[in-house]
Amino acid sequence: MTDFLLAPFQYEYMQRAFIAALVVGTLCSTIGTYVVLRKLSFIGDGIAHASFAGIVVAYLRGLDYYVGALIVAIVTALGIGFVNRRGRVSLDTAIGVLFTGAFALGVFLMSRVPHYNIDLQSFLFGNILGVSREDLWLILGLALVVVVSLALLYRALLYTTFDPVVAQASGIHAGFVDYALLVLLAITIVISLEAVGIVLVAALLVTPAATAFQLTRRFTRMLVLSGAIGAFCAVAGLYASYYLQSASGATIVLLATILFFIAMAVGRRRMPLMGANLPH
């Protein structure tokens, strides 16, 4: 058993991959609690796709991909928030317009380059084994920023997630909290791109939190449980992908999906009244 667990760690790239997976899995699923409770699941998908334009622009300008993706992801996140608050369109419409526009810009710019050596597949589906030492430090640094910010905003985020109108009336700056969450979400998504890719990052944001929601009726427990489920799925999924020789991002997300359905069955048995008053 020990050999089974330690075998992947003989390779330095696997050590980096496990650390990255653990950080990204925990972070995505922790902030995902707010994504699920605020019904923002579409946002993760939107910001991830939009960041593709930043990757292409960074490639064309010879910049770090992370920098390009981060700038576009944050601008898109703030744009979504602005259009939703000030515009006359719903949030899902705002996301639909902005992310498809940004993604199309990325494809357009890429199609204009005659010969490119950008590894498109690694951004679409993730390449956690390719995480470099520098990438890992960047992931750890940005993850720390997100964790500290989430801790500082804990009460404001909780109150504005449950009852934004009353929270604002009581003097909490709901608008600032909303924008801050979107920026933190954008950072989380960008540092997760290499691990799970543009296509699958939304699943890592939503599925562990949705799983935790089936198992507890308390917010703090949901937050902790979601983070733990995300961490477990990331690490166990990476082990599975190592031994099954499968795509790591897809294996992690598949494991999270299986856990979700198990939790749904368990949750219904444990809390049969939970959904009694749910709005339909």
Considering the rule CB under 8 A, would residue 89 count as an interface residue with another protein? no
> Which of positions 43-62 make contact with another protein (CB under 8 A)?
none
- DSSP 8-state symbol, 217: S
- Closest distance of CB 27 from another protein, Å: 20
Binding status of residue 37 toward another protein by CB under 8 A: yes
Beta carbons within 8 Å of 157's beta carbon, 6+ residues apart: 34, 150, 177, 181
From the list 153, 135, 140, 143, the residue with the least C-alpha distance to 27 is: 143
Interface size with another protein, residues (CB under 8 A): 32
Helix, coil or strand: residue 115: coil
Task: Choose the stretch contacting another protein; rule: CB under 8 A; options: 42-50, 117-125, 129-137, 218-226.
Answer: 218-226
Cβ atoms of residues 40 and 210 within 8 Å: no
Query: In the bound complex, what is the minimum distance in angstroms from residue 211's beta carbon to another protein?
Result: 13
DSSP alpha helix (H) spans, the chain: 2-6, 12-37, 41-61, 65-86, 91-111, 120-125, 133-152, 154-162, 164-169, 174-215, 219-244, 248-270
- State yes or no: residue 217 binds another protein (CB under 8 A): yes
Stretch that binds another protein, among 169-177, 195-203, 245-253, 258-266 (CB under 8 A): 169-177
Cα 195–Cα 79–Cα 193 angle in degrees, nearest 5: 5
Q: Does 34 bind another protein (CB under 8 A)?
A: no
Q: What residues contact 125, with CB distance under 8 A and at least 6 apart?
A: 196, 197, 199, 200, 247, 249, 250
Regarding 228 and contact with another protein (CB under 8 A), the answer is: no
**Residue 224, Ramachandran bin (φ over 0: left; ψ between -120 and 50: alpha; else beta):** alpha
> Of the listed pieces 97-105, 110-118, 128-136, 271-279, which binds another protein according to CB under 8 A?
271-279
> For residues 168 and 257, which CB has a smaller minimum distance to another protein in the complex?
168
Cα angle 91-92-94, degrees, rounded to a multiple of 5: 65
Q: According to the binding rule CB under 8 A, does residue 168 interact with another protein?
A: yes
Tell whether residue 6 is a contact of another protein (CB under 8 A).
no
| Contact flags string 173-212 toward another protein, x per CB under 8 A | ----------------------------------------
- Give the shortest CB-266-to-another protein separation in angstroms: 16
Which of 13, 219, 236, 257 touches another protein (CB under 8 A)? Answer: 219
Q: Is 85 in the site for another protein (CB under 8 A)?
A: no
Question: Which residue in the block uniquely carries the two structure tokens 């030492």?
Answer: 133
Give the shortest CB-257-to-another protein separation in angstroms. 21
Does 114 help bind another protein (rule: CB under 8 A)? Answer: no
